[in-house]
Amino acid sequence: MLKRLCRLLLTGALLAAVLSPATLQAQDGITVSKNTAVVGFPTSIGFSLAAASDSEITDIRLHYTTNRQSFAQVTSEVYIDFTRASSVDIYWTLDMARLGGLPTGITIDYWWTLANADGSRLQTEAIRINYDDNRYVWKSLIQGDITLYWYNGDQAFAGELMGATQAALVRLQKDTGAHLTQAIDLYIYASAEDLRASMINSSEWTGGVAFTRYNTISIGIASYNLAWGKRAIIHELAHMVTHQMTFNPYSTIPTWLNEGLSMYAEGDLDSVYRTALLRAIAGETLISVRGLSSPFSAFTTLSYQSYAQSYSLVSFLISEYSEDSMFQLLGTFKQGASYDDAFLSVYGFNLDDLNDLWRDYVSARDMYMNVTLISLIVLVTGGFIIAVFWLWWRPRRV
């Protein structure tokens, strides 16, 4: 924890170190006199190298890795296009659009390999750079496994968000057994616009995103919109917890389970989603559980329905089959089980069986709600008629 806090305080010093020439390196006639990197968040990183050799330099490659969660060490290698000579001075830009963008707060290690016509080779020492959004002066608040960064708003603002975050973690563990297995960095931008400006090719509706492989969450929260911000944090945090609990090299979990757990963590279903669900039940247009296992539709109406059904499915499993079963399900997925195998192992039924059981469940609840509503209407209407009749019939005083 202390290490992450110090990283923020020493950002300026680290950046200065990266921009200054690296220690002179030489091997078998190849000498490196300049080795620098400049972070241009969020669009690029520029790498510079100057080297000389007793013979013509014939090959230069840049290698880099990120602190991305993975089951294997992945190193990217760039073949540098340059004019062969005994002395070279090159500049190469890593365009973040090629990677789809990277979140603030991560680290990148890079090094070079060079070869000359004599067959000599040199590999430079690895240099670590922080890929930080230095457009803002970030403040930090640490509690447990969460480090919250923000730049707009007072300490009370950050405290409220941290409180919602910690409460969400408690509820997730209580209701599903799911919990964080690694620390999380939470970046709070002052608006959705500021957030989108930190991303590559973001959608106009993006308000928050969980970079699950980097244990980082970024959300745009205005100080006047705390209620929405708390729900957004809880939603993305649940995605992070779910990812950590199920991450494996073989398979993923159904989309509806992933989104349903996040919706369930938020609390009661918003009216827009509840309406979408009731409309689908009444119109018999429910999407099958298998259909919900794939990415959701981009159409607004179907999207609302998909999220609402996902919430309902998770609520059904937790209320009817216990929190322990949900925890076991997540653990089974972490072992790499397929969708059907995971459900058969924990619940004794597959996705098609779940579809039937859940439809009977929501239909029964819908019928109960309709009967209750009709009874209430009858009672209110009857009472109104009685009241009107009494007012009309009662003797009038002279």
Task: Please give the pLDDT value at position 57.
Answer: 97
pLDDT recorded at residue 205 = 81
* pLDDT exceeds 70 at position 22: no
Stretch 220-246: mean pLDDT? 95
What is the percentage of the chain residues whose pLDDT exceeds 70?
A: 84
**CATH-assigned architecture of domain 2-131:** Sandwich (2.60)
Q: How far is CA 44 from the centre of its chain?
A: 22
Residue 227: per-residue pLDDT: 93
This prediction's pTM = 0.83
Q: What is the pLDDT of residues 305-317, one digit of tens each?
A: 999 999 999 999 9
**What is residue 25's predicted lDDT score, i.e. its pLDDT?**
64
Please provide the CATH number assigned to the domain covering 136-247.
3.40.30.160
Alpha helices, DSSP H, located in the chain: 2-9, 11-19, 155-176, 192-197, 226-246, 255-266, 271-282, 289-292, 300-321, 323-334, 339-346, 351-393
When comparing pLDDT for 397 and 353, which is higher? 353
**DSSP code of residue 396:** P
Q: What is the pLDDT of residues 1-14, one digit of tens each?
A: 444 444 444 444 33
Residue ranges of domains in the chain:
2-131, 136-247, 251-398
Cα of 378 vs its chain's centroid, Å:
48
**β pairing state of 127-131 and 85-95:** unpaired
Looking at every residue in the chain, the average pLDDT score rounds to 88
Give the whole-angstrom CA distance, residue 46 versus residue 129. 12
Return the pLDDT at 333. 97
- Say yes or no to pLDDT of 320 above 60: yes
Encode burial over 51-74: b for 16+ CB neighbours within 10 A, e otherwise: bbbeeebeebebbbbbeeeeeeee
What is the pLDDT at residue 204? 79
- Assess whether pLDDT exceeds 90 at residue 256: yes
